[in-house]
Amino acid sequence: MVHKNNVTELIFTGLFQDPEVQKLCFVLFLPVYLATLLGNGLIFVTVSISKTLHSPMYFFLSSLSLVEICYSSTVAPKFITDLLAEVKTISLKGCLTQIFFFHFFGVVEIILLVVMAYDRYVAICKPLHYMIIMSRQVCHMLVAGSWLGGLIHSIIQIIITIPLPFCGPNVIDHYFCDLHPLLKLACTDTFMEKFIVMANSGLFSIISLFILVSSYAVILISLRKHSAEGRRKALSTCASHITVVILYFGPGAFIYMRPSSAFTEDKLVSVFYTVITPMLNPIVYTLRNTEMKNAIRMFWSQKDK
């Protein structure tokens, strides 16, 4: 049977139906998104121009901040402006574009978190060889590898989605385009596509989480040999990384590692990892990091002069 692809525009149901609640959400989420841009932008600029933050850890942190800005910007601007719109629409091409970049930057971020865990492992467990192992060239290769990994993942996701026929209905029960809600609209059996998506996203996330947990477990065990001051410094840095990992993987696991549903809870959890988490990361890293706080103070004092 041949399906005609006659859907060119999709309609979002949105986060809430009540117009007053939507206006309240607009007032709440616009400052959150602006804070995301400001916080992550400040970290990226500070690390780029600072004379003291030249270690691999800060290089990876600035890369993470740049990815956070891109990742949040694939969803937040459209979502926030839609809160004031009566009908929330997006073209099918626009929807596929959003899916591509959302998954692209999301996976780049996951790989960067794994890279940052590896960096802390080398710094704490092999301190004498740290600068040899984590040379400038290696750091650039690891970041480039993160972007390449994200690109490959997104290409796979989009290649299986583009050929699908969409002949109606055209209402997505979400506030942004993601694979599970879009696959529900395809007028053909999508069992194989859903399986590939789950394998591509699920297996990748499980392997990444296993590497992260293993790295921090080895780090915590090796810290017993360090002095009390060394333990305190290492734990402070690792605590920031672990907090960001939990903030990112917790909600993501809830959505992608279980059967999809149409519950409002799913949308609320999605808001957490698409809008709120990118704002929290710079706060987590700067509040616990004296070097970063001092560099930001110096940056502002130079700016004032």
Indicate the burial class of 253 (C-beta count within 10 angstroms; 0-12, 13-18, 19 or more). Answer: middle
Domain of 254, CATH number, reads 1.20.1070.10
In the numeric block, which tokens belong to residue 17?
Answer: 């139906």
| Phi (first) and psi of residue 167, to 5 degrees | -120, 20
pLDDT exceeds 60 at position 110: yes
Q: Does 196 reside within a domain?
A: yes
Give residue-wise pLDDT tens across range 74-96.
999 999 999 999 899 999 999 99
DSSP code of 162? T
pLDDT band for 257, please (50, 70, 90 cuts). low
In the numeric block, which tokens belong to residue 214?
Answer: 């293993």
pLDDT band for 2, please (50, 70, 90 cuts). very low
How much of the chain is helix, strand and coil, in % rounded to 5? 75, 5, 20
Identify the weakest region by mean pLDDT among 9-23, 94-108, 245-259.
Answer: 245-259
Which range of residues forms the domain containing residue 58?
9-304
The residues near 46 (Cβ < 8 Å, ≥ 6 apart) are 53, 292, 295, 296, 299
User: What are the Cα distances from residue 94, in Å, to 74, 84, 265?
Assistant: 11, 19, 25
The percentage of residues in the chain with a pLDDT greater than 90, rounded to a whole number, is: 40
Q: Does 1 reside within a domain?
A: no
Q: Does 3 reside within a domain?
A: no
Pairing mode, strands 171-172 and 9-12: parallel
Q: What are the E-state strand segments in 6-142?
A: 9-12, 88-91
Give residue-wise pLDDT tens across range 25-60.
999 999 999 999 999 999 999 888 887 888 898 999
Per-residue pLDDT, 217: 86
User: What are the Cα distances from residue 210, in Å, to 245, 249, 276?
Assistant: 12, 12, 25
| SS3 state of residue 158 | helix
Provide the 10 A C-beta neighbour count for residue 234.
18
Give residue-wise pLDDT tens across range 149-184.
999 999 999 999 998 888 878 899 889 998 888 988
Per-residue pLDDT, 184: 87
Give residue-wise pLDDT tens across range 191-226.
888 888 877 777 787 888 888 888 888 888 888 777
Q: Does 292 reside within a domain?
A: yes
The mean per-residue pLDDT over the stretch 228-237 comes to: 74
Query: Total domain count for the chain?
Result: 1
pTM as predicted:
0.89
